[in-house]
Structure 1
Amino acid sequence: MTTPTALIGRAGAAVLAAAALAACQPGHAATTTTAAAGSTAGAPATALANAPVPAASSCTLGHHNGQDLPDPHCTPGTVNPQVTQATIGTTICASGWTKTIRPPTSVTNKLKKQIDAAYGLPTSTEGELDHLISLELGGAPSDPANLWVEPGKIPNPKDAVENKLHSAVCSGLVPLATAQRAIAADWTTAFDDAGLRVAGGKVCLRDNPSRCVGSQRGDEDGN
């Protein structure tokens, strides 16, 4: 999550499983294709330096389970190469780490205007410039392929999904790559795609519901 723009209201919470959206932005490898947990498809691509912003009005918001989704051709989701399964203890699972890599407002304000234009949205639209793969899940901080304008008020339903996936990763419930693939494919079905379920405020393994985790310390502000 980054800075607000402005926009259209959101519907209620996301449920039900769905097929993963997959696509590539020019300049990004075909491994930007995402897949549900357990599949053999590649993980989201690593961010490219100086990647281009999509052309004006070339992107279209999608919708699923009453929620907005980014255009998978424009925003397939990309990851930060500093964050791997081996480094989560000193990166995303260390409190305050995302503050060290979050782009300054001088960068995000410019990107926000460019991505508003790419999605054909007026700059007065209510919403936020959002990292599809959140910083707390190892998403790329300033790659346009990981950014979209998410409609609605802040906080929004996607924030809660990101925080619970972060807890699942930092507790060892699921691997980092599983959570990244799931949220990049369709954030509204990310729990199901990652083999998780939420019950009583906790996130649990779907196939082993006794294995659960509540709030996990770390960078849960790194949306």
Structure 2
Amino acid sequence: MRRRPVLARPVLARPVLAVASVLLAAAVAGCSHTPGSSSSSGDRASGGATAAGTARAGDAAAALAEGPGPQSHYSVAAQPAPGSCHYRSDNGQPLPDPTCTPGALSPAVTQADLGQTICRKGGYTGGIRPPASVTDSEKRKNAASYGYTGQLHDAEYDHLVSLELGGDPNDPRNLWVEPPSPGHAPGAGPNNPKDAVETRLHTAVCGGQVTLAQAQQAIASDWSTAESRLGLK
């Protein structure tokens, strides 16, 4: 009885599979997605930079959260746990804890409606500011969050992204007890240079020098360097 010849296995089978595996891995890598790289608030924050044509140094990588916006009635907002927040500083100027106070934006203010909101004649912030009956209680609790032991009279309960830059009025992520800056006279009350920075950024936004998103990101990242990072100083 004649035996049938044994056919040799194709020598290219394993190399072909290896090449296919490499191509598949490359395809998967090309479709990878970084968590947090896309969100509704991220689209909103980056839109102004696109409209301006080029991104500026003030554009931060992380998108700012969006708060509930102006309310007809404000309630005292819950604050971070006592001692859980820690101040930072830049050349001696106080900065908030980026985890406790990263900043939050009002959905009522966009690049498209500046003329009807923060840039309108007659002002905007007075009608949306929470009353002292709410903010006084929040200030005391937030001072405990940050471990602030100085005179509350000298500290400002401050919107990180100011109302005149479209910051949310009462989102706890946008409010912090801001200690006095260096050189402040004890007992003199709040007098922080951040207020003047907010005003100049507001002027730049309404004058078309920078976009709303750029100003918001810059002041949330580091208010003390916001103007220089945006090329305004």
Q: Give me the TM-score of the superposition, normalised by structure 1.
A: 0.68
User: Where does structure 1 lack aligned partners over 5 or more consecutive residues?
Assistant: 1-28, 198-223
Q: Is the deviation greater in 125-134 or in 179-188? A: 125-134
- What is the alpha-carbon distance in structure 2 between the residues aligned to residue 196 and residue 123 of structure 1? 33
- What is the alpha-carbon distance in structure 2 between the residues aligned to residue 149 and residue 36 of structure 1? 29
Q: Which residue of 1 aligns with 2:178?
A: 150
Q: Which residue of 1 aligns with 2:26?
A: none
Q: Which residue of 2 aligns with 1:196?
A: 232
Higher share of residues assigned helix: 2
Answer 1 or 2: higher relative contact order, Cα 8 Å, separation at least 6: 1
Q: Secondary structure at the match of 1:195?
A: coil
Mapped contact 1:53–1:114 kept (Cα < 8 A): yes
Higher share of residues assigned strand: 1
Aligned-residue CA RMSD in angstroms? 2.6
Question: C-alpha deviations, 1:8-34, integer Å up to 9, x for none?
Answer: xxxxxxxxxxxxxxxxxxxxx996x99
Structure 1 runs of 4+ aligned residues shifted over 6 Å read 33-36
Return the offset for 1:52.
Answer: 4.0
- The answer on 1:60 being equivalent to 2:86 is yes
User: Where does structure 2 lack aligned partners over 5 or more consecutive residues?
Assistant: 1-39, 47-54, 70-74, 181-188
Which of 157, 160, 169 is equivalent to 1:141? 169
Return the offset for 1:137.
Answer: 0.3
Q: Which residue of 1 aligns with 2:57?
A: 37
- What is the alpha-carbon distance in structure 1 between the residues aligned to residue 145 and residue 224 of structure 2? 23
Report the AA paired with residue 151 of structure 1. Answer: P
Which of 165, 190, 196 is equivalent to 1:160? 196
Return the offset for 1:121.
Answer: 1.7
Q: Which residue of 1 aligns with 2:96?
A: 70
Distance 1:42 1:148, change over 3 A: same
Mapped contact 2:160–2:220 kept (Cα < 8 A): yes
What's the % identity of the aligned pairs? 54
Distance 1:118 1:38, change over 3 A: closer
The structure with the largest alpha-carbon Rg is 2
- What is the alpha-carbon distance in structure 2 between the residues aligned to residue 36 and residue 114 of structure 1? 36
Report the AA paired with residue 61 of structure 2. Answer: A
Q: Which residue of 2 aligns with 1:214?
A: none
In the TM superposition, what are the counterparts of 1:12-31 in structure 2 within 5 Å? none
- The answer on 1:104 being equivalent to 2:134 is no
Return the offset for 1:154.
Answer: 2.8
Q: Secondary structure at the match of 2:156?
A: strand
Mapped contact 2:59–2:217 kept (Cα < 8 A): no
Q: Which residue of 1 aligns with 2:147?
A: 120
Q: Give me the TM-score of the superposition, normalised by structure 2.
A: 0.65
